[in-house]
Amino acid sequence: MLRSPEIVKREIESGKAMFLAGDEDILKTLPRGNWIAGTIPYFMDRAGGTVASDKIDVTELPHPAALQFIRWYGETELAEISANTPDPGFTFLILPAASRAHLEYAQHAPDYPDIFLKPIVGWISGVLLDDLGTKTPKAVNGKTGEFSDAKGIAMHCTLPAGKTASIGIINMFVPGAGDVIAFESEGFTVDECLVNGEKTNLAEYLLSKKIDTQLPLVADCAGTMVNVSFQSVDEKAKRVSLYAPVFKGVQYKVAAPVGDYVREFSNRLENEKITPVFSCNCILNFLYSKLEGKKTGAFFGPITFGEIAYQLLNQTLVYLEIK
Amino acid sequence: MIPVNDDPRWSKLLVGEIRHQFRSVPAGLMFSRLRRSLDTDPSAGNHQKCLGEAIAFFQKYEKILADDIAAIFG
């Protein structure tokens, strides 16, 4: 929920543990304390999708969780994150967009030891889109006041016995009825792919089929729909850039179009009983579905450059519940 | 209630012979990763390792996997 910096300062000084999100300049005015933060000026608030540089999004560490410790993770240390996650408990992780830590986590987190046995939730920090290229996304350690555009910041949190951190997602995209697309190599940039088993240049395929690249590639991972969003299609270089890596051995399809995001979102949640203590949604949903001023139920939090539910996700709302 | 470790349904679930769309996000992500691992390395040793991971996951999260367990194992 968005709060004024004055209120946030008082809450920090009272000793509360918090996950924060906000513009870099406003985060720099905060006192040291039990908080971590990421830079971003886009939010889901009570009033709907909002762009604000004078307010801070605050998620208080939910009861009955307790802060165990805060630490930085460089790219070579991220594989330790599961081992450092308390049991029972969870880890809240923020990685700066385009940092080596972000790229490392995106490509390798699914293979980290015990990654799916310890709940890890979080997001990829960003900047105002107009500031891309002049400012870098950052993560912040509130304990020390340090800002980093290279490392991720994590708050490791404990839960009492019998309580579980449960991470869920709301992905409005499902695989469309089109071709099956697979990849023989992994990464954020793609030249060749296999379309229904035949080697094809992905850029040429997307252009020739006039595919709407606002729709992500979607993989059905045993019931969990995982998106990979398109960043750009370079017609000249015949290369496609993606916001998340594609993986070998996974079958993707271009997503079926989503009509009215807010209406379909509400329909989806009609029969769900979700009580999120944290949530974040993707900047691409905010932009493509024009969510400014529009409400997405009881989900409040940052609108981000990527979402973390164990592994990196794209164009997906991620939430945390304590059960 | 989850079956004993040597129940053949575990192996069928692991390799996708029992088709199931998990409601649990980490379960879906984990089974997807385990199946990719088996595609790359189908050896008996890796099969056993992946099976162990899958069973450990169910044992740990039996409470929150209740819907999936009921659908898979009845």
Residues of B with CB under 8 A from a CB of A: 20-23, 25-33, 35-36, 39-40, 56-57, 60-61, 63-64
Are A39 and A102 within one domain?
yes
Is A91 inside any structural domain?
yes
Contacts of residue B32 in chain A, CB cutoff 8 Å? 219, 221-222, 224, 226, 250
**Given an 8 Å threshold on Cβ–Cβ distance, is B28 in contact with A169?**
no
Domain coordinates of chain B in residue numbers?
8-73
Question: Which domain does A120 fall in, by range?
Answer: 2-169+264-322
Residues A6 and A150 in one domain: yes
Tell which of A230, A254, A278 closes a domain.
Answer: A254
Those residues with Cβ within 8 angstroms of residue A75's Cβ, 6 or more apart along the chain or in another chain = A99, A100, A101, A103, A104
Among A212, A234, A254, the domain boundary falls at A254
Residue A174 within a domain = no
Q: How many other CB atoms are found less than 10 A from the CB of residue A80?
A: 13
Nearest residue on chain B to A226, alpha-carbon basis: B29
Would A176 be classed as within a structural domain? no
Could A169 and B25 be called an inter-chain contact, meaning their C-beta atoms sit closer than 8 Å? yes
- Give the residue on B whose Cα is nearest the Cα of A114: B53
What average pLDDT values come out for chain A (323 residues) when binned by 10 residues? 97 98 98 98 95 98 97 98 97 97 96 95 97 96 98 98 95 96 94 97 98 97 96 97 94 95 84 91 94 92 98 97 94
Degrees to nearest 5, angle at CA A153 with A190 and A54? 95
Q: How far is CA A244 from CA A31, A108, A170, A205, A235, in A?
A: 34, 11, 18, 19, 20
Identify the closest residue of chain A to B58 by CA–CA distance.
A117
End-to-end CA distance of chain B: 9
Reported as a single tens digit per residue, the pLDDT across B16-69 is 999 999 999 999 999 999 999 999 999 999 999 999 999 999 999 898 899 999
Global pTM value: 0.96
Tell me how many domains chain A contains.
2
